[in-house]
């Protein structure tokens, strides 16, 4: 890491003061609270939690506030904090089939058991600015004060609805129907399946396993994965995806304490899951069938898991004996460059002092030009000309003289 140049300590200290002022903005405007960010910027909070590998809405909201809304900086802050936390227990694998559904759609089948649950989505909005939102803050606070003073009269049906929502019912996965007919590659846990490596503790090494790739993609930058997924759809990989199922909701997290020996529920987390149905494969001895791509993320993070599912399928090219011809199929290219914390650090380090490096190149450039000038004088060539701009100027002066 670079160190500050001599005399820069005071300037750096003052930059902290300037940053605090920038973060706060106009003091006449009420300051954003952590609760406001957590509740009203939930999609940003979900992205920060996912790419930082830490599920904590309050800490993610704090990181967003500290970073002035810069999500990559917030991810960096939260990921750095996560490295200071002790690892107490490992959880059991969550069962998304038992998810308490808040949204669940399929683009492959219209009628599915449990139905299509649209939930909250921007999919059907007109993408026009809603200026009424600018005036709702004051009206909303007045309405909430009025509502708080009213006496609520309960409806007997309310208890039934809350009771039905409190207990999640298993919702069958859409791809199970294709699996039952043998139309999609089976996905089962093999015997003696090894414990997957932990990317938060061990460095990424190649070749990777699919489990490790999925961990890396879950932490990967959403924009980068989105671009890669788009590239596969435009022909830069063997991929024709269908969104088999996208579901968002809450699942229970369980651990098995050593002193108890059985699983206990320690709480619920929100997840978004995507199952992609992709290009089918087959051979002379094996019937053709669809293949899968998978994505999973903390919070409501639909675009991320869709991109993740498409890229996951592209990265399975070698496993499925496909020709590797596109960037999205190259695991080293994808996984090394998907990490926005590492990418951001490597890019932004260019802002730090490089005086010695640049001076060495500058001296080399000057010596090369001097050598060229000396050679030009020996050969009767003016080595001081700098290129097309000077030639154009000479042509103009010749035309004026004519």
Q: Give pTM, 2 decimals.
A: 0.80
Residue 164, pLDDT score: 42
Domain positions in the chain: 15-82, 96-120+163-188+196-347
Q: What is the per-residue pLDDT across 6-24, written as a single tens digit (0 to 9) for each? A: 557 888 888 888 989 888 8
Residue 171, pLDDT score: 75
For range 16-38, the mean pLDDT: 90
pLDDT exceeds cutoff 70 at 286: yes
Full 3-state SS string of the chain: CCCCCCCCHHHHHHHHHHHHHHHHCCCCCCCCCHHHHHHHCHHHHHHHHHHHCCCCHHHHHHHHHHCCCCHHHHHHHHHHHHCCCCCCCCECCCCHHHCEEEEEECCCCCCCCCCCECCCCCCCCCCCCCCHHHHHHHHHHHHHHHHHHCCCCCCHHHHHHHHHHHCCCCCCCCHHHHHHCCCECCCCCCCCCCCCCCCCCCCCCCCCCHHHHHHHHHHCCHHHHHHHHHHHHCCCCCCCCEEEEEEEEEEEEEECCCCCCCCEEEEEEEEEEEEEEEEEECCCCCCCEEEEEEEEEECCCHHHHHHHHHHHHHCCCCCCCCCCCCHHHCHHHHHHHHCHHHHHHHHHHHHCCCHHHHHHHHHHHHHHHHHHHHHHHHHCCCCCCCCHHHHHHHHHHHHHHC
pLDDT exceeds cutoff 90 at 155: no
């Amino acid at each position: 890491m670079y160190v500050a140049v001599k005399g820069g300590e005071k300037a750096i200290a003052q930059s902290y003061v300037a940053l605090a002022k920038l973060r706060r903005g106009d003091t006449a405007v009420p300051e954003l609270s952590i609760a406001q960010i957590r509740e009203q910027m939930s999609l940003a909070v979900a992205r920060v939690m996912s790419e930082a590998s830490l599920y904590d809405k309050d800490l993610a909201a704090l990181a967003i506030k500290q970073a002035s809304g810069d999500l990559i900086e917030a991810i960096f802050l939260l990921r750095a904090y996560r490295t200071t936390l002790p690892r107490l227990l490992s959880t059991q694998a969550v069962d998304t089939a038992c998810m308490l559904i808040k949204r669940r759609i399929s683009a492959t089948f219209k009628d599915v058991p449990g139905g299509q649950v649209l939930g909250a989505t921007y999919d059907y909005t007109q993408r026009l600015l809603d200026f009424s939102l600018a005036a709702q803050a004051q009206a909303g606070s007045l309405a909430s004060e009025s509502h708080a003073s009213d006496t609520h009269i309960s409806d007997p049906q309310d208890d039934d609805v809350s009771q039905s929502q409190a207990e999640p019912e298993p919702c069958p996965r859409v791809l199970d129907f294709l699996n039952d007919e043998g139309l999609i590659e089976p996905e089962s846990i093999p015997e003696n399946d090894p414990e997957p490596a932990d990317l938060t503790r061990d460095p990424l090494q190649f070749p990777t396993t699919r489990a490790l790739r999925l961990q890396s993609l879950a932490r990967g930058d959403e924009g980068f994965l989105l671009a890669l997924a788009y590239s596969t759809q435009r022909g830069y990989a063997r991929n024709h995806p269908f969104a088999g199922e996208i579901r968002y909701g809450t699942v229970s997290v369980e651990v098995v304490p050593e002193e108890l020996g059985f699983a206990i529920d320690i709480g619920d987390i929100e997840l978004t899951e995507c199952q992609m149905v992709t290009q089918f494969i087959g051979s002379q001895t094996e019937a053709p069938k669809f293949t899968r791509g998978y994505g999973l993320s903390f919070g409501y993070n639909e675009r991320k898991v869709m991109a993740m599912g498409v890229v996951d399928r592209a990265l399975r090219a070698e496993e499925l004996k496909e020709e590797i011809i596109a960037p999205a199929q190259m695991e080293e290219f994808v996984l090394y460059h998907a990490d926005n914390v590492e990418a951001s650090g490597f890019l932004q380090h260019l802002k730090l002092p490089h005086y010695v490096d640049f001076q060495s190149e500058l001296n080399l450039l000057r010596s090369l030009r001097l050598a060229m000038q000396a050679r030009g004088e020996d050969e009767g060539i003016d080595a001081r000309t700098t290129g097309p701009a000077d030639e154009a100027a000479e042509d103009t002066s010749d035309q004026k003289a004519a």
